[in-house]
Amino acid sequence: MTKLSDLGPPIIGKRHGGEPPSINDHFYACRRCGQIVDRRDLRQVMWHEKPEHKPLQLDS
């Protein structure tokens, strides 16, 4: 299983325009593996866009 830290340092995205998001807007469930993904971290988003991937092991 791939660890989140194996993907490098966090890549934090910024929202442009519009209303500030609620906490629920930051997360979604991956359609392929079902893991909850934090949209603010581009590493997680890009990982879950791969056609064949396994859930990431999140660092504690």
pLDDT, position 31: 94
Residue 1 pLDDT class (50, 70, 90 cuts): low
**Report field, pTM of the whole predicted structure over 0.75:** no
Q: Note whether 10 and 56 are within 8 A (CB).
A: no
DSSP bridge pairs for 57: 3
**Distance separating alpha carbons of residues 21 and 25, to the nearest angstrom:** 6
Strands (E), the chain: 27-29, 36-38
Convert the pLDDT of each residue in 7-51 to its tens digit: 788 777 666 776 666 767 889 999 999 999 998 888 999 999 999
Sequence length of the chain is 60
Residue 3 pLDDT class (50, 70, 90 cuts): confident
First to last CA, the chain: 15
- 3-class DSSP state for residue 34? coil
